[in-house]
Amino acid sequence: MNTNRVLCTSLLVLFFSTFLLHIKPTSAGALENTEFIRTTCYKITSNPNLCFSSLYDYATIINQNPYNLANQSVSLAIPSAKDSAQYFAMFYESYKREHYNNHRVSNALHRCEKFKKAVGKMYKSLDEMRSISSDKKSSSYDTPAKLMWDALGFENTCTVEFENVEDEAVKRDVMDRVNQVKGLTTIAFELVHHSFYTQKESTP
């Protein structure tokens, strides 16, 4: 009995010792990476909480680099905008079939298909950022931010079209979805603008 107890105790000690060896303490670098995102989000963006919560998991990839932060923010905004573009395209077709007399809503939904153009602008912005990153003497530092601003413009078109729509259920559904997407796109624009404006100013 005592032998079994000693054996069990030894096994438990061995187990916990092995467990503790595999626990990696949070490094100073990891904390600095996270703090960089937090500080930049609160200093630069209009929605710091959304900014930090959406980019927090990419702290290691971002690695305290403003370019990486801007790049990652655009990469996060694209899937959200792309999903909405597909959603509005399907919504428009189904609504047009079922409510063919309500031209105001149908026309507004049709205008929301401009989300496709917003997605295209975001992809172009990413391409421009990569181009600038590989060519330090580039003279087009403003281009990525301008493209993100254009993307926001296409997203805003959707909300403007729905301001006078009377179907509250559809209006609320569309506006909620658009505002979620615009939140990420706005943060991406702000970070891109900050990153490349700063880089432009520091370039001789």
Q: Are 50 and 183 in contact (CB under 8 A)?
A: yes
Q: Are 200 and 156 in contact (CB under 8 A)?
A: no
The mean pLDDT value for 169-197 works out to 92
What is the phi/psi pair of residue 157, to 5°?
Answer: -55, -40
Evaluate if pTM is beyond 0.85.
Answer: no
Average pLDDT, the chain: 82
Sign of CA dihedral 154, 155, 161, 164: negative
- Res 15: pLDDT: 45
Total number of residues shown for the chain: 204
- Res 69: pLDDT: 95
Q: Are 17 and 42 in contact (CB under 8 A)?
A: no
- Res 138: pLDDT: 53
Say which range, 32-36, 128-132, 151-155, has the weakest mean pLDDT. 128-132
- 80: confidence class by pLDDT, cuts 50, 70, 90: very high
pLDDT tens-digit profile of 141-163? 788 999 999 999 999 988 888 88
